[in-house]
A and B are shown apart, each in its own frame.
Chain A
Amino acid sequence: MTPLFPEQASTFAHNVDALYLFLIAVTAFFSLLIGALVVVFAIKYRRKATDEVALEVHESGLLEIVWTVIPFGLVLVMFFWGAKVFFQITRPPADSIEIYVTAKQWMWKLEHTDGRREMNELHVPVGQPVRLTMASEDVIHSFFVPAFRFKRDVVPGRFSTAWFEATKPGKYHLFCAEFCGTRHSNMIGWIYVMTPADYQAWLSGGTSGETLASAGAKRFVEQACNTCHGEQKGSRGPSLSGLYGRTVRMQSGQTLAADEAYIRESIVNPQAKLLEGYPPIMPTYQGLISEEGLLQLTAYIKSLSPAPASGGALAAPPAPSPERKSTKP
């Protein structure tokens, strides 16, 4: 017998399933009501003589109002309940473990802040929120873990973020849910949810690479970002220390919170949002830095803020060379 529900393995799962059960109840009630009425009427009022017609004519304004207002009330309940669950799914808590995801045809690359890299596998501890910052190197993909009841499209040209908190150790499917080409159905991975002790053991075992932030720091120098974005007064560009998470003011007078999306956009399309007090002289880096490189630079810039964003620095073997964006056949 096949199960009717996937495993409940995240803090969302119970809430989504409760909502689902409510909607199943509404669906069953109205389907059975309409079905029963149609069948009963069809039998009770079946035609008895070939020239028989219905003699009574029915119209009822009251009934029309009743069966407009009742569904209206019901859908409002669904809307608010659904919105509540939605807010939970879309708002990551502040103290999350950060995971950087690069999607490409047809694999998932998952990187921990300590530089540990996984292919189509992700190890996370139970009971701790995990925040995903995701980029795509080619087409749209979608990060979907049925046991966690969430998915998020990974759209090229921007960072997508999502989060989850696993509640039960185990091994769960990671699917690509957005059709992404020939081997779409092979873009499957596993999420390993581990007890804190197992997770610590996993973290200390094996070799971890250079931390993401320090790989980003290298790139920062390689791309000569530091020549403008220096620490000293009078640099051509703003200093990036403490930038992440701060509210910054644009030339247009707008203010915005400097998040990952803002950092990414300022690298690939610096003219889009110009910081107040600086001339528009930065060239675009569109196409010059791989998606993985952008994630590393972002991790580096984030590490310059006091927030507990980056993991501890570890030994630094040479960073693997970033893969070039695949070109179209």
Chain B
Amino acid sequence: MTNATASGRERVNYLNAGYGVRSWLLTTDHKRIAILYLIGVTVFFAIGGLAAALIRLELLTPAGDVFQAETYNKIFTTHGVMMIFFFMIRGIPAVLGNFLVPLMIGAKDLAFPRLNLLSWYLYIIGGLIALWAVVHGGVDTGWTFYTPYSTVYSNGWVVVTAVGIFLAGFSSILTGLNFLVTIHTMRAPGMTWMRMPLFCWGMYATAIIQILGTPVIAITVLLVAAERLFHLGIFDPAQGGDPVLFQHLFWFYSHPAVYIMILPAMAVISELVTAFARKPIFGYKFIAGSSVAIAVLSFLVWGHHMFVSGQSVYAGLIFSILSFMVAIPSAIKVFNWTATLYKGSISYQTPLLYAIGFIGLFTFGGLTGLMLATLGLGIHVHDTYFIVAHFHYIMVGGTIMAYLGGLHYWWPKISGKMYPEYWSRVSAWVIFIGFNLTFFPQFIAGYLGMPRRYHAYPEEFQVLNVMSTSGASILGIGYLIPLVYFFWSMRYGKDAVDNPWGATGLEWQTPSPPPTENFPETPVVTGKPYDYVTAREEVAVG
């Protein structure tokens, strides 16, 4: 056991092991690359968030009076592209996954450290290219790039944005590959598959999707670029192409991509729930197995995005039933998390507040997803604000809550400092309230028939939109608070001990922040994860 009191001294750790720009930009340390990613995703989140604020500003009144229609279309495209391709898909795996996977399995680094650095550069270059397109006039297709609008009619920087997404896709593939190989080959002695933390199981399932799915979006955006530049008749019906083919290709990746965003969030929640209940997770094998089941099923449901596009009635039936099936492993996870709390020793620290917020919002958001999978009902709410509300419950209420919960939980390990507990609880509540006020009214607006991507809308929807915009203002403030205090804590925060939460897991057995090589000596794993009883006895004996 590491001596906790020694961690305050000027010990060499990964943060002070080298100074200067080169030591960061040429680092192959997975922990430093995680920090680089943290900076990247925060910047792109801020840009996407700014775009969201402008959207809500325009929708405060029914008339399209703040921006021109074309500008508004570019703003919501920017919001979608930045949030999905450069924040959500990368967020948890690239930041927390990069930092934690080697630490959790007792490895010194990822299997391919240089590839890891390359993935960050691809991500940043891709992001800068997409940003260049925004600055030089933007793109107005929506993040879905539906053809033939994107390939024939749009005047925006479609090809440039496609190149940015293409590069970010390779970044995602490299991260997935790295995690997969690392988890297979670099587990510490005694770390069998069934002793692996559930976070790693989640990352493993995510990596499968990243590797198998991402090449398809890469091909798809290349085809869009080829049709736009060289007029190959792939999707354009005027040249004999098929516009619905694009939707098949796009959603073949982009639906699994939803699980690239939510599986890591579920992985974080599994860790948070058990740590703050100080109790082994209920149904370890079922949670681990459901992650893999979700990864597999996620590839079989893409057609539920095309219930009204003219695919055959029978295709609709198949995709409907398969979409229902993917809900079951998600339900299993929710029940197991809840059961973990039963007779636990529960401490309401900030990460648990986020985890509870996640469970509630994800459950509600997931159940509204069943409404979309229900054929007769999905037709009515398709392409309305109901969809917008549903996926924001999953993405914002789910993934961002989990990301923030995880960031708070591992912040002492990452930075070696504690965040301020009071302010962090305040922000968790502000975010929860602001979120619900923003997105709940959108379910109602959607069922009433308000279509998405409308720059101006009929007056009867105004009340709901005013609620949504005021909620978004609260939500925005909620996100600014942690941004401020995380920076603040780096300088003024209390020094963190090695294991501030009394949690199990190898990452808590090494100093905060960890040394560059992660562990002074390779740890040996002798038992199951989350074994709080044995862990306490060892502490008592030691």
Contacts and interface: CB of A to CB of B under 8 A. Distances in A.
Interface in B354-390: 356, 359-360, 363-364, 367-368, 370-371, 373-380, 382-384
B324 A184 contact: no
A38 B335 contact: no
A156 B245 CA distance: 13
**Which of B336, B339, B377 has the largest count of A CB atoms less than 10 A from its CB?**
B377
Given A78-B370, A139-B146, A139-B149, 5 more contacts: A34-B359, A37-B338, A52-B345, A54-B532, A147-B449
Contact of A173 (B321, B458, B536): B458
Contacts of A149: 379-380
Nearest to B378: A82
30 contacts: A2-B460, A4-B447, A23-B371, A27-B368, A30-B363, A34-B334, A41-B338, A45-B344, A47-B278, A48-B345, A52-B278, A53-B278, A53-B532, A53-B536, A54-B279, A54-B280, A57-B279, A67-B331, A79-B320, A81-B374, A87-B313, A105-B153, A149-B380, A151-B379, A156-B243, A157-B243, A178-B146, A179-B73, A181-B73, A269-B240
Interface string B292-316: 0000000000000000111001001
Contact of B240 (A176, A286, A329): A286
A32 to B, nearest CB: 10
B345 A47 contact: yes
A29 to B, nearest CB: 9
A158 interface: yes
B444 interface: yes
A156 B456 contact: no
A140 interface: yes
B342 to A, nearest CB: 6
Interface in B412-464: 444, 447-449, 451-458, 460-461, 463-464
A58 interface: yes
B410 to A, nearest CB: 20
B377 A19 contact: yes
A185 B64 contact: yes
B367 A54 contact: no
B305 to A, nearest CB: 11
B243 A16 contact: no
Interface string A9-25: 00010011001100100
B153 A16 contact: no
Nearest to B247: A140
Contacts of B240: 269, 286
A177 B382 contact: yes
B390 to A, nearest CB: 11
A82 B320 CA distance: 9
Interface in A281-304: 286-287
Interface residues of A, number: 94
A46 B276 CA distance: 10
A158 B328 CA distance: 37
B65 interface: no
A38 B338 contact: yes
A221 interface: no
Given A16-B377, A82-B375, A85-B377, A47 B346 contact: yes
A32 B458 CA distance: 34
B370 A26 contact: yes
Contacts of B377: 16, 19-20, 23, 82, 85
B137 interface: no
Contact of A157 (B149, B153, B238, B363): B238
A152 to B, nearest CB: 6
Interface stretch (A68-76, A208-216, A233-241, A313-321): A68-76
Contacts of B457: 185
B140 to A, nearest CB: 7
Of B444, B451, B461, the most chain A CB neighbours within 10 A belong to B451
Contacts of B481: none
Interface of A: 2-6, 12, 15-16, 19-20, 23, 26-27, 30-31, 34-35, 37-38, 41-42, 45-48, 50-60, 63-64, 67-68, 71-72, 75-76, 78-79, 81-90, 105, 138-140, 142, 144, 146-147, 149-153, 155-158, 160, 173, 175-186, 188, 269, 286-287, 325, 328-329
B135 interface: no
Interface of B: 64, 69-70, 73, 140-142, 144, 146, 148-149, 152-155, 237-238, 240-244, 277-280, 282-283, 286, 308-310, 313, 316-317, 320-321, 324-325, 327-328, 331-332, 334-336, 338-339, 341-348, 352, 356, 359-360, 363-364, 367-368, 370-371, 373-380, 382-384, 444, 447-449, 451-458, 460-461, 463-464, 502, 532-533, 535-536
A3 B448 CA distance: 8
B498 to A, nearest CB: 16
Nearest to A13: B380
B448 A86 contact: no
B376 A82 contact: yes
B502 A23 contact: no
A189 to B, nearest CB: 12
A54 B344 contact: yes
A155 to B, nearest CB: 6
The 9 closest A-B pairs by CB, nearest first: A157-B237, A146-B449, A85-B376, A54-B279, A82-B374, A86-B375, A75-B324, A41-B341, A185-B454
Contacts of B149: 139-140, 179-181
B140 A182 contact: yes
B343 A56 contact: yes
Contacts of A37: 338, 341
B376 A16 contact: yes
Contact of B363 (A31, A56, A160): A31
B374 A19 contact: yes
B383 A155 contact: no
A158 B243 CA distance: 10
Nearest to A56: B343
A84 B376 contact: yes
A180 B141 CA distance: 8
A58 B238 CA distance: 62
Contacts of B317: 83, 86
A5 B237 contact: no
Given A19-B374, A23-B377, A54-B277, A4 B444 contact: yes
A23 B454 contact: no
B360 A38 contact: yes
A132 B198 CA distance: 52
A63 B308 CA distance: 38
